[in-house]
Structure 1
Amino acid sequence: MKKLSSALCRLSLPKPSNPFAVANVRSTEEIWRWKSILSHLLRNKDIEEAQRIFLQIPSPDVHLFTMMINGYSQANRINDALHLFDNMPDRDIASWNSIIKGCLDCGDLCLAQKLFTEMPDRNVISWTSIVNGLAKYGCIDAAEKLFYKMPERDTAAWNSMITGYCDNCRIHDAQFLFEKMPHRNVISWTAMIGGHDQNGDSYKALCLFHQMWVRGIKPTSSTFACVLTACANSPDSELGIQIHAIVIKAGYAEENFTLTSLITFYAKCKQIESSSKLLDGIEDRNVYLWTALITGYGLNGRHEEALDEFGKMVWSAIKPNESTFSSSLNSCCGLEALDRGKGIHATAIKQGFDFDVFVGNSLVVMYSKCGDVADGLKMFNSMSKRNLVSWNSIIVGCAQNGYASRALELFDEMSACRIKPDEITFVGLLTACSHSNMIEKGRQIFQLLKENPSVDVRVEHCACMVDIFGRSGNFDEAEEFIRGMSVKPNVMIWLALLSACRVHCNVEIARKAAGEIFNLDPYNSAAYVLLSNIYASAGKWNDVAQTRVMMRSSGIVKIPGSSWITVHESRYEFVCGDRSHPLTTEIDKKLDWLDEKLKEHGYVCEKTFALHDVDDEQKEHSLKYHSEKIAVAFGLIVTANGSTIRVMKNLRVCGDCHTAIKLISMIVEREIVLRDSSRFHHFRDGLCSCGDYW
């Protein structure tokens, strides 16, 4: 490519003193030669060489100016494009249209609008460009006004407005326009198919495709991509497989756009092996194909394979994009693999993506979900651009990690920046209040939610309020809140109440809440387990036995409690009383040593958390070998002194383990992070981030 550029540039090129000066009209052959050279350079994105050549042209005509304006715009050098436009000796409609499109492509809507109003003459392309730009940046009402003011509209203009409606969640307006437009083409149909799918009506999207097919309109690769996405979202794997066959017959199976959609389709339909096979025979994989496979593995919970593919992609010198980083970081969250997430963060910095808002958001989520909210906050504070997702990610992260006050402070900062909250924001805030006994603050947040016209009160918000009242022991208020709900309470609401009963060992309300759950979902295993544990804590062993009989008769199996720790990218999992690990002897010695040290610090095991009807000695032995304690002991053996130990647990941490691990953090002078099914606990110097309230 460089050789060809050099060859073209060895042509004899005159150098006028003023590159923009108007000169005599040259021959058609000479003008064609300049256009050919510039076209080649710009097509190959050699903007610097194109600029050097352009400055040597004796008197560029309007078409050459326009070519360079387009080149600068595509290289995101809008200031150079504007400078060139300002220095044009004369302009035509094409040059005006080019600079307006350039402003829109480079994100300057205001300047594009200003230029549009200054245009001496406009054509249908001018109007369509500005309508498309307004819709793209969310100004759909302004786009609509201009669309209806257009002196003439071609099919492209109608398609542009339909796409704008779809992208701005006004699918009914898009459908109305689609039915009203005088002439439809394949782009019109594709826009509506994609629009219905994006707005949650995949069935309607597939019906439109059927109508289009019956009318004999030939689909493009973009159409097939939209249809396959709709099949995945339906999900309709049978139809998707039929579409795949049609794609092959139509000759689109090797096109990147369609192939990417096929990979995603099979992944969403839980047929990830088919996704992988699609790429087996392709040697020249690009970033989009590889990203689709990485994302597909993540969707199927196969995070190790996802990260393996990311490693292969980087090793193959394929530069990841924003979506690649996001999907890979999501897999790090799935594995709680903080070290691997940090490695991907380093790769993002090397590739220049560390300031990208999309990647930044994913990093904030990764650090928070791996229990390193301090680095999550650092990442958030370093972001030069933030959107609603950024604020939600850090607020929820702080709430889950016990930084409730910081979560509320962030909400105040978010409000000061005039970022409007959504449903997720309020879930994060109410969760923070629930985890920190902020009852009055929780009431205020919920009232603010009810007064917000742009946010609907959802069952998740109500469950948080029940949790706030219940965990604080205000069961009367919790029940009153449930009775006053505008929607019928579901299993989530009653589970929140039942979980609070576990904290306060309230047997009477627990029976009532469990009864409501069993009426709605007779096979809800979580309710049976919670109820059994509440009975056990209260010493009601007959009730425990009856509950377990009910579970067996219903075929419900209790999920065993387990804890795991990741060391050097390897995951080690333990269950209560685990004797299978090769280091069992060393773990036992470490547990004995910890037990001795704990007793020196006044620790007495809390036998109420031993949920079996056995004698006190057996209860004490059982508590000593809870899975989280085994995992902590293992972590102390295999990790460096002073380093943080991170343990994950699939169930809620028991009160005895919580007390013990607090003291262990002080004894060994190390931070211990424990994530249970409810939240993160950060143990340091004999204290926990939850303040003993969870």
Structure 2
Amino acid sequence: MWTLRAAIRNRISFSFTTSQSTSPSYNYYKQLLTHHVFNQNLEKARNLFDQIPSPHISLYTIMLTAFAHHHRLPEALLLFHQIPIKDLVSWNCIIKGCFHCGDFVTARKLFDEMPHRNVVSWTTMVDGFLRLGRVDDAERLFFEMPGKDVAAWNAMIHGYCGNGRVDDALRLFREMPSRDVISWTSMISGLDQNGRSDEALFLFGEMVGYGVTPTVTSLVCGLAAAAKVSALCVGIQIHCCVFKMGYSCFDEFVSSSLVTFYANCKQMENAHKVFHEIIQKNVVVWTALITGYGLNGKHREALEVFGEMVRMSVFPNESSFTSALNSCCGLEDLERGKGIHAAVIKIGLDTGVYVGSSLVVMYSKCGYIGDAMSAFKRICDKSIVSWNSVIVGCAQHGCGRWALTFFSQMLREGVNPDEITLTGLLSACSHSGMLQKARCFFRYFSQRRSITLTIEHYACMADVLGRCGELEEAEALVMTMPMKPDSTVWLVLLSACRMHSNFDVAERAAKKILEIEPGCSAAYILLSNLYASLSRWDEVARLRTAMKHNGVVKQPGSSWLTLKGLRHEFLSADRSHPLTDQIYQKLDWLGGKLKELGYVPDQQFALHDVEIEQKEEMLSYHSERLAIAFGLLRTVDGSTITVMKNLRVCGDCHNAIKLMAKIVDREIIVRDTSRFHHFKNGICSCGDYW
């Protein structure tokens, strides 16, 4: 990576033979000019330069480097042409500056005009073309280059890898007449970054076998590859090498890589041990531990480490905040997330793409899509991750029109959609009943070469068709998929059959599921519920007997809400909570108010063959109602209550919660496995379509 400081240092360290380069005036001007450039005072530097009588060529080069670094190429070129006698360093410097500013045409023109070239000149051209993605141009120059040195070969290998041409890089690597540790490291890193981590680890072992001593960068690349494929044994061997070379306690990059490696291998105790052995912990190391805990689902521990880092006066960076927000999202802890958001705003990081996208995800997953969209609008340079976050968030909340609007804006901004975009769009269409839009999207994306349709996309399209009642078409889609459908795809179809009471398709779908996954409780339950909804109790009993015989256990329905960082969970008819009496009193009071509004329990959702009174009682104490009653007891009047549920909310509870929201004059948000429901003033955001 070409930096201003490095370029100037190289120029200053150049050995001058003229008397001017060793004169007191030269040293004075050089130091003062360098001082201005390092402090980015280019105008002062230029004014000083103009006052120097007959400036030495090295001072010209310092100014050339500074102008190019700040993308002031016309001034750099003008100054270059004013140099009385140009040397190779100045030629190479201006060519590198042209590439840095993206002007490869001028770079090539200057290269052709050079009276003499050295291997640095050729390598500068090759590296410049590669950095701009012009691989063919770089390739032609490389093979024309006379007397290639190791640096030239390394530049080409690094460029091939950076542009996704790993096989070409590997071929060139094997053809090299001699290799140094940079050659090996570039190839290892290139393989790892292009999804070939197993090969990267094999090459790392080969490097060590040839007696090449790894550098810090080599070790970090090896650990990164081991982390991606969870190669615990190989990673431990690299750790031993790190320990022998004395890097583990002192080098921040090696230390953070070790923490990340053990976290990826689900070895959080070892990750924590490595963390505590580090003598000086900087923000990179702290962030690696926070991210590691989050990766292993230990979100509470991740936030504790984040808090400890702040207390130790280690200033969080964008990655730290991103990891902390992801853990808030994992805990559905909106209050903690808002606190972190406030800190992010104070230091001005909320407009960054990573923190901003994490805020979008956090707010949308905690039930606040309006705040998610506000966070999205504040992001300055929106990436595909940002757009996908807001599109998927809108889909989860049933804001299909908004999802399509954001998609249109994304295309106008010139951002190319990917596979996640399609998943979000199909999900948005599914929850909003936009069948024709979904068909158009599915057809359009299937024709794009840059996107490969996955089994998830087919499941989403089958879901759209199924929800809209097109069960035969959905079944035909599943049967003609280019890949073998898994149990998830058939479960989507079975769920739609439950919704539309289609026995024939349901039984075929259930049969397919149980062939693939004999212990799938969801298949038994969905089919059983379909029979129960039409009072076919013999079939229900048969399925329950089969479940018992096969050892299949039904997942109990549960609902929870998070208040002041604590999660309160409820099962249906649960009486284990310390506030059980008050919760049931609140539900009885709500039951009376519901009857005054004309509510009558829908007994088709009481999925047991019992008396009417028992059915009504069973419906009244579903887990989401208990959670709502608790929320009413423990939150301020008028505030929003957000409840999460592990199963699909039943139709009777859906009707009841609409009226509850009206009775208590509050917004009640319920997230089930399908989507978010926003209940307010007697209506639901889903429009009774979910």
- The equivalent of 1:303 in structure 2 is 299
User: How far apart are the structure 1 equivalents of 2:91 and 2:316?
Assistant: 35
Distance 1:465 1:70, change over 3 A: same
CA distance in 2, matches of 1:690, 1:152: 70
Moved more, 94-103 or 394-403: 94-103
Alpha-carbon shift at residue 484 of structure 1 (Å): 2.5
The 5 A counterparts of 1:445-456 are 445-456=441-452
Asked whether the equivalents of residues 20 and 56 of structure 2 are also in contact (C-alpha less than 8 Å), the reply is no
Structure 1 counterpart of 2:5? none
Bigger drift between 314-323 and 328-337 goes to: 314-323
Match of 1:338 in 2: 334
Gap change, CA 1:84 and 1:168, over 3 Å in 2: closer
Contact (CA 8 Å) 1:495, 1:527: kept in 2 or not? yes
CA contact (8 A) 2:33 2:45 kept: no
- For the 8 Å contact 1:395–1:410, the answer to whether it is kept is yes
- Supply the AA of the counterpart residue of 2:199: K
The match for 2:538 is 542
Instruction: Say whether the 8 Å CA contact 1:319–1:351 is kept in structure 2.
Output: no
- Identity of aligned pairs, percent? 51
Partner residue in 2 for 1:157: 152
Whether 2:392 is the aligned partner of 1:414: answer no
Q: Is the 8 A contact 1:113 1:130 kept in 2?
A: no
The equivalent of 1:208 in structure 2 is 203
Deviates more, 1:138-147 or 1:373-382: 138-147
**In the aligned structure 2, how far is the partner of 1:517 from the partner of 1:293?**
40
1:324 aligns to 2:320 (yes or no) = yes
Give 5+ residue unaligned stretches, structure 2.
1-18
**Distance in 1 (alpha carbons) for counterparts of 2:324 and 2:283:** 13
TM-score computed with the length of structure 1 as normaliser = 0.88
Corresponding residue number in structure 2 for 1:593:
589
Structure 1 stretch displaced more, 217-226 or 149-158: 149-158
Q: Which residue number corresponds to residue 266 of structure 2?
A: 270
Output the CA distance in 2 between the equivalents of 1:674 and 1:364: 19
2:603 corresponds to 1:607 = yes
Q: Report whether the alignment pairs 1:619 with 2:615.
A: yes
Q: Secondary structure at the match of 1:435?
A: helix
2:577 to 567, 574, 581: 581
Give the distance between the partners of 1:374 and 1:142, measured in 2 at CA: 49
Q: CA deviation at 1:443?
A: 1.2
**Counterpart in 2 of 1:199?**
194
Amino acid at match of 2:175: K
Deviations 1:132-160 (A, max 9, x none): 45544545445445544545533223222
Structure 1: distance between partners of 2:147 and 2:216: 30
1:283 Cα deviation from its structure 2 partner = 4.7
Residue equivalent to 2:227 = 232
2:676 to 680, 687, 690: 680
- Deviation at residue 644 of structure 1 after TM alignment: 1.7
| Map of 2:352 onto structure 1 | 356
Per-residue Cα deviation, 1:71-97 (whole angstroms, up to 9, x for no partner)? 787xx7445x87577556526543554
The one-letter code sitting in structure 1 at the alignment partner of 2:327 is S
Partner deviation per Cα, 1:462-503 (whole Å, 9 max, x = no partner): 111111111122211112222322222222221110111221
Give the match for residue 279 of structure 1. 275
- What SS does structure 2 have at the residue aligned with 1:648? strand
How far apart in 1 are the matches of 2:246 and 2:417? 46
CA deviations on 1:366-387 (whole Å, 9 max, x unpaired) are: 2222221112212222323122
State the match for 1:457 in structure 2. Answer: 453
Q: Is the 8 A contact 2:104 2:129 kept in 1?
A: no
What does residue 10 of structure 2 align with? Answer: none
Q: Aligned AA for 1:488?
A: K
Is the Cα–Cα contact under 8 Å of residues 65 and 84 in structure 1 kept in the other structure? no
- Where does residue 486 of structure 2 map in the other structure? 490
Q: 1:178-198: CA deviations, max 9, x gaps?
A: 222332221221222222222
CA contact (8 A) 1:116 1:126 kept: no
Deviates more, 1:596-605 or 1:339-348: 339-348
- CA deviations over 1:246-272 (Å, ceiling 9, x no partner): 221122223222111111110011011
CA shift for structure 1 position 176: 1.8
Which AA in structure 2 matches 1:245?
C
Give secondary structure in 1 for the equivalent of 2:647: coil
Q: Distance in 2 between matches of 1:368 and 1:104?
A: 42
- CA 1:533 to 1:213, structure 2 compared with 1: closer, same or farther past 3 Å? same
Instruction: For 1:99 and 1:668, locate their aligned partners in 2 and report how far apart those are by CA, in whole Å.
Output: 72
State the Cα distance separating 1:310 from its structure 2 match: 1.9
CA, structure 1 residues 538+257, in 2 after alignment: closer, same or farther (shift >3 Å)?
A: same
Q: How far apart are the structure 2 equivalents of 1:282 and 1:163?
A: 32
Shift in CA distance, 134/594, structure 1 to aligned 2, threshold 3 Å: farther
Distance 1:404 1:237 in 2: 44
CA-based RMSD? 2.9
Kindly provide the amino acid, as one letter, of the partner of residue 510 in structure 1: A
Whether contact under 8 Å (2:466, 2:474) holds in the other structure is yes
Q: 1:654 to 1:127 in 2, by over 3 A?
A: farther
Q: Matched residues in 2 for 1:601 and 1:557: separation? A: 38
Given that residues 482 and 489 in structure 1 are in contact (C-alpha distance below 8 angstroms), is that contact kept between their aligned partners in structure 2?
yes
- C-alpha separation between the residues in 2 aligned to 1:365 and 1:142? 42
Q: Using a 3 Å threshold, how does the CA distance of structure 1 residues 612 and 47 change in structure 2: closer, same or farther?
A: same
Q: Distance in 2 between matches of 1:165 and 1:638?
A: 60
Change (3 A) 1:557 1:26: same
Which region of structure 1 is more displaced relative to structure 2, 349-358 or 430-439?
349-358
Partner of residue 5, structure 1: none
Q: How many angstroms apart in 2 are the aligned matches of 1:176 and 1:411?
A: 41
Question: Does the Cα contact within 8 Å between 2:67 and 2:76 map onto a contact in 1?
Answer: no
Equivalence for 2:643: 647
- Residues 462-481 of structure 1: matches in 2 within 5 Å? 462-481=458-477
Moved more, 190-199 or 418-427: 190-199
Q: 1:570 aligns with which of 558, 563, 566?
A: 566
In the alignment, the residues of structure 2 paired with residue 596 and residue 137 of structure 1 have an alpha-carbon distance, to the nearest angstrom, of 71
